[in-house]
Structure 1
């Protein structure tokens, strides 16, 4: 794998971004940008409780949405009308793409980014690089602003506390996760019920289930998005944390010596390599997430790892009686440090307001509208998932998959884990994607896999040009 050189010029970045959408390229600009204050791009009008950021009522607003699992209808049908009701003179331009980095990285390099970006998906821009270059608007004023619904309630009081923790870079809250991503193993409740298959609670039970499904000849036991192996390193990392405790992931995030080669990581990597060797659906390595998920909808494979966006992403191909369900990773041994039901959850579908956009005031106001209970509740119902706004799902009709995921996260309670290295260090994410693909196809042994990732982490740790973050 070739890494982006650290001495790339801004002109080269502009010329090459459309051809090489590398996650860390933005950080490689020749001269790091100074951090811009909130008013750097537009002089605000008078502020008030109703207009806490000083939004100019008639100034245009440009919003870019990642066209992924949640689609784009929510932006056009829920968020835009809510904003326009308050600012009818504002012209709102909503655009979408699956290639966030390829399309928008040149806009940052050219000094004219849009005002709001849903920076999500496999080709999202590197948040660590954006933060290092001073490209992210400080969203602290958003947290302390009155909520859209009730001026006596601050926005921060509506949010899951993890939103602020995960969205803070170098002491500055700059990334708003809008969805509570709930990760696990997804399956058809109907298929399991019809075949008498039980949700496994131990790793031995999981292996026996895979063997039973394989021998049945009805479908393959397991698959993942082979072209996007981050779908597989998610359960690998979560299992390691379950075995060894949340500090396993904290140590990886903090670039601690030997964090990737710790014993829980070795056990988890070996376990998933066995799944890759014995139980994968044929052709998995060459398929993307939609292809593997559609194969599941066609009853060609029983289980796959994904997050709580899955049900909505597959709504056009899912049989009416499919009945999505999600279960947490099984206990690896009886001595796991975290109990059965432990989940990886994380605020996701990450929105940013570029510091050098033309209208950062309206950008923050757009996010404030998104965080109203109506907007968040309508969003949750439309896209069959759970938002980060407390109480937004109350009284809403949840689909089978969303209900299953919500039940799992309620049962998990405080037993949740997360990791941040993949958004902090784009080069490490690139290496993990490539190496995990090789692990699952037998190109790397578990030990060589972890040694490769440790080597890359050590390189980043020793590179003074890369901004370091810490949990």
Structure 2
């Protein structure tokens, strides 16, 4: 989801991480499922497949594109439409830029008359899990295997950053492609660190030693967005993944019976308990909203703050000149970590899909091939100071300190970018983790209690036959 779209007082990442949750989406009516069950397919507009037309677009078939018009606007989508028109000048394009995609699109999906492309983003988006269950979305395998629009020798699949395909995959089929890429890390002021002679730590032992130095300098080492404990969950869970590797991440997402007692998770919980126990978290952080905590950090009342890569954009109106914020990767727990210190937690958002009953499915797929071209993604990055999901889109650009650090982190991570999916799959488990971590970093429970509480919530979900389960 486009973080800019989130209404205050919600923090941007809260809805960014809930793209699959019916609780924040417009539920599809049962009639939609009934319609899908009949498998009534409209006559498809298609043409001959050639090297120049790999998806078989009918040159004069109309194309309808619906785009969520949030903080990123829709100019970037319109530019891709203009490229489509340049290639297929006989095709008439109907563009709609909307705020409430779900409200407008739900009746059209129910009626079996959806548009050809939908940017299913925003707080009122359609529930993707319901769409998938009702077979209302097109499997994008053909698009992913098609030649990239402007990168000879590559397929569309080859051009995407790590995790993008997995983020849009449900029950083995990739049904959405997300256009933007979010990375989570620990942020600090590069100028402050240079002024004080501090070096960003690579290990947790180095982090604790630096925190003691920072504390003696009269600055709080850490603050966090206390009203939304999920913010501080990110570095904790990232540290755990580095310690235990991808097997740990899969065990958590798969609701394994011993997932939360794995050594990597215990080690990470103990690390953050120690951070709090030594007084390295700014007093009063628990009561702060995301904007309040981030403002205090920009005022140099604290040296570190956990956040996603939207932080620079979100703080641009209040960041002092010369602050030079940058994102650091979460330090390693120990030398025995299974993932390198350069590994990052990342996921994609701004979710595009092609409805299964679209009249011009081939055109919808071709439009996405154009939208996800490198030229299109580069223009988007320049206009929005946001990392697109297309690899290399920011190469050669002069970037701000924050976006530059995010780009560098993704480059350094390479294939070691990962993402937990339990937050989008299981809302009750996400809340249980948030609540337990809030108690942990405010010294009200131990690391062992933290692990036991979350495992109990995970086991309860695993046994609940009414909850659809996903596997990695």
Fold similarity call, TM over 0.5 = yes
Alpha-carbon RMSD across the aligned residues, in angstroms, is: 3.8
* Aligned partner of residue 456 in structure 2, secondary structure: helix
Normalised TM-score (structure 2): 0.79
* Aligned counterpart for 1:93 among listed residues 92, 96, 99: 96
Hey, what does 1:229 align to over in structure 2?
229
Q: Distance in 1 between matches of 2:103 and 2:439?
A: 26
SS at match of 2:212: helix
Q: Does the Cα contact within 8 Å between 2:32 and 2:110 map onto a contact in 1? A: no
Give me the whole-angstrom Cα distance separating, in 2, the residues matched to 1:227 and 1:109: 38
* Residue of structure 2 equivalent to 1:386: 387
Alignment of 1:175-324 (within 5 A): 175-218=176-219, 220-276=220-276, 278-324=279-325
**1:141: how far off?**
2.4
Q: Answer with 37-46 or 340-349: which moved more.
A: 37-46
Please state whether the residue corresponding to 1:22 is helix, strand or coil: helix
Q: Which range is displaced more, 411-420 or 235-244?
A: 411-420
Q: Is the 8 A contact 1:64 1:95 kept in 2?
A: yes
Aligned 8 A contact 2:139 2:173 in 1? yes
Whole-angstrom distance in 1 between the partners of 2:144 and 2:99:
26
Matched-pair contact (CA < 8 Å) for 1:241–1:248: yes
1:437/1:75 CA distance change after superposition, 3 Å: farther
Q: Distance in 2 between matches of 1:363 and 1:295?
A: 45
SS in 2 for 1:183: strand
Find the counterpart in structure 2 of residue 64 from structure 1: 68
2:330 equivalent to 1:326: no
Following superposition, the deviation at residue 150 of structure 1 comes to 6.1
Aligned CA distance change for structure 1 residues 79 and 275 (closer, same or farther; 3 Å): farther
Question: Alpha-carbon deviation of 1:34?
Answer: 7.6
After TM superposition, the structure 1 stretch with the greater mean CA deviation from structure 2, 294-303 or 345-354, is 345-354
Q: How does 1:3-42 map to 2 (within 5 A)?
A: 22-23=23-24, 26=27, 40=41
The question of 1:406 aligning with 2:410 is answered: no
How far is 1:73 from its partner? Answer: 5.7
Deviation readout 1:162-208 (Å, 9 max, x if unpaired): 33234221111112132343322111101111122221122122123
Cα–Cα, structure 1 residues 227 and 104, in superposed 2: closer, same or farther, change >3 Å? farther
Give, in whole Å, the separation in 2 of the partners of 1:223 and 1:305. 8
Alpha carbons 2:32, 2:111 under 8 Å: kept: no
Q: How many residues align?
A: 446
Name stretches of at least 5 consecutive residues in structure 2 with no aligned partner: 1-20
Moved more, 372-381 or 199-208: 199-208
Inter-partner Cα distance in structure 2 for 1:43 and 1:465 = 37
Offset, 1:232: 2.0
Structure 1 alignment gaps of length 5 or more: 1-19
What is the distance in 2 between the residues matched to 1:209 and 1:271? 14
State the TM-score, normalized to the length of structure 1. 0.79
Check whether the contact 2:64–2:117 (CA below 8 A) recurs between aligned residues: no
Q: Which residue is equivalent to 1:14?
A: none
| CA distance in 2: counterparts of 1:425 and 1:63, whole angstroms | 27
Does the 8 A contact of 1:33 with 1:135 survive in 2?
no
Give me the whole-angstrom Cα distance separating, in 1, the residues matched to 2:294 and 2:40.
Answer: 45
